Amino acid sequence: MSRGMSRGVSRTARRRLPLNAGAALVFVLSAFPVYWMILTAFKPTPEIQAETPVFWPSSLTLEHFATAARADGFAQFWRNSLLVTLTCVVLALVVALGAAYAVARMRWKGRRAFVLMVFVAQVAPWEALLIPMYVIARDTGMLDRLPTLTLIYFMITLPFTVVTLRSFLTGIPVELEEAARVDGCTRSQAFRRVTFPLLAPGLVATSLFGFITAWNEFAFANMLIIKNQDDRTLPVWLSSFSNVFGTDWGATMAASTLFALPVLLLFLVLQHRVAAGMAGGAVKG
């Protein structure tokens, strides 16, 4: 470690070089797998099978996407995944909003215990619950059914949703609501007309997390959907890519790209909006 005062620009420049080189390395290492996935998905088959990898293809093709889309049950698995994910997100938001409001805006006995329960639930060892869930689902006739997955994903995402919405809610001054109530609004009117609009970015940010969790979930989907193969979700289908596509890496990467697309897009679109919304809310507040 060098120490002491630097003297002037040449030293800073010399110091910047390894720093920027390191930054470039980190960027390449973190982005390359994603780049390689998308590139392979669009690459003509001969270039995928070239002994020397082609890092910049001569032409692009949609053939692999067509292969992926023609795979058995492709549309069905998309429908299943979207259905499970969206219902889980909506359910978690509605339920969590109530709980978050109670924690952030009301004083009541047992509040601290409830918050503690939410924290504990947030780090619940879900992987350890695969076996009892399987047995319970079997006993109650919930095996091989998508609503079972929705319920489990709802519970997986709920604690985080409560915690995050709570902290968004505490960020919105309670005085705004109180002023509305002085003006004659009921508590629920005040919430609907004043707080809820300000909370919208928070809801968006929180649902992003819920969406990602449910969209990705593999272990329970793999454990609880067994006989009824039509009810599988995308992650389970994609994990068995070698049964579906063999060593057709183009099609596998096309399917992976399509699977990753909603999440990556949501991230790109929403992150900006969430940040902007939060800044806007802070200024208005």
Interface with other proteins in residues 13-32 (CB under 8 A): 16, 19-20, 22-23, 26-31
List the interface residues with other proteins, window 52-91 (CB under 8 A): 52-53
Q: Which is nearer to other proteins, 84 or 205 (CB)?
A: 205
Binding status of residue 191 toward other proteins by CB under 8 A: no
Reduce the DSSP state of residue 154 to 3 states and report it: helix
C-alpha separations of 219 from 5, 82, 149, 209 in Å: 55, 17, 11, 18
Q: Which two tokens stand for residue 171?
A: 């960020």
As a whole number of Å, the end-to-end CA separation of the chain is: 46
Q: How many CA atoms lie within 13 A of 191 on its CB side?
A: 12
List the interface residues with other proteins, window 117-156 (CB under 8 A): 117-121, 123-136, 138-139, 151-152, 154-155
Cα(211)–Cα(153) distance, integer angstroms: 10
Supply the minimum distance, in Å, between the C-beta of residue 245 and other proteins: 10
Supply the minimum distance, in Å, between the C-beta of residue 236 and other proteins: 8
Binding status of residue 259 toward other proteins by CB under 8 A: yes
Q: Using an 8 Å Cβ cutoff, are 131 and 224 in contact?
A: no
Cα(55)–Cα(177) distance, integer angstroms: 57
Supply the minimum distance, in Å, between the C-beta of residue 237 and other proteins: 9
Q: How many CA atoms lie within 13 A of 138 on its CB side?
A: 9
Figure out which of the listed residues 65, 168, 210, 231 binds other proteins, where binding follows CB under 8 A. Answer: 168
Q: Which two tokens stand for residue 193?
A: 């007309």
Binding status of residue 111 toward other proteins by CB under 8 A: yes
Please identify, among the stretches 58-66, 70-78, 82-90, 246-254, the one whose residues bind other proteins according to the rule CB under 8 A: 246-254
Figure out which of the listed residues 10, 108, 243, 283 binds other proteins, where binding follows CB under 8 A. Answer: 108
Q: C-alpha angle 95/99/105, rounded to 5°?
A: 140
Supply the minimum distance, in Å, between the C-beta of residue 79 and other proteins: 18
Supply the minimum distance, in Å, between the C-beta of residue 21 and other proteins: 11
List the interface residues with other proteins, window 226-245 (CB under 8 A): 234-235, 238-239, 241
